Amino acid sequence: MITNPTRQHALRSAPGPASRPAGRVRNSVEHQAALAWRLTPRDRWIVAMLAEHRVLTATQITDMAFPSFRSGRQRLRELYLWSVLDRFQPFAALGSAPMHYVLAPAGAAVLAAAHGLEPRDLGYRHDRALGIAHSLRLAHTVGVAEWFAALVDAARHHPCADESALEVWWSEARCARLFGDLVRPDGYGRWHTRGRRIEFFLEYDLGTEALSRVAAKLAGYAALAAATTITTPLLIWLPTPRREANARTALHRAWRDLDQPAAVPVATAAAGLLDPDSAHPSPADPVWLPLPTTGPRRDSGPRLPLDRLVEAWPHLEPHLGDSAPQAEPTGAGEHGSGAARLPAPFPMPPAPSPRGRAAPHR
Cβ atoms of 204 and 186 closer than 8 Å = yes
Q: What is the pLDDT of residues 71-93, one digit of tens each?
A: 999 999 999 999 999 999 999 88
244 burial type by CB count under 10 A (0-12 exposed, 13-18 middle, 19+ buried): buried
| Cβ neighbours of residue 359 closer than 8 Å, sequence gap 6 or more | 37, 38, 40
* Adjacent-strand bridge partners of 190: 168, 199
326 confidence band (pLDDT: 50, 70, 90): very low
Q: Are 164 and 194 spatial neighbours (Cβ–Cβ below 8 Å)?
A: yes
Residue 163 has pLDDT above 90, yes or no: no
Contact 90, 97 (CB under 8 A): yes
pTM: 0.86
Q: What is the pLDDT of residue 299?
A: 65
Examine the pLDDT at 320 and tell me if it is beyond 60: no
On the question of pLDDT at 335 being above 90, the answer is no
What integer pLDDT is reported at residue 4 of this predicted model?
Answer: 44
Degrees to nearest 5, angle at CA 352 with 348 and 354: 150
Region of poorest pLDDT, from 3-12, 285-294, 295-304: 3-12
- Of the candidate ranges 29-33, 218-222, 252-256, 288-292, the one whose mean pLDDT is the lowest: 29-33
> pLDDT band at 162, cuts 50/70/90?
low
Give the model's pLDDT for residue 354: 54
**Rounded to whole angstroms, how far apart are CA atoms 246 and 236?**
13
Average pLDDT value for the chain: 84
pLDDT digits (tens, 9 = 90+) for 112-149: 999 999 888 988 999 999 999 999 999 999 999 999 99
Mean of pLDDT values over 51-55: 97
Task: Give per-residue burial for 67-91: e unless 16+ CB within 10 Å, then b.
Answer: eeeeebbebbeebbebbbbbbeeee
pLDDT digits (tens, 9 = 90+) for 192-245: 988 889 999 999 999 999 999 999 999 999 999 999 999 999 999 999 999 999
Indicate if the pLDDT at residue 172 is higher than 80.
yes
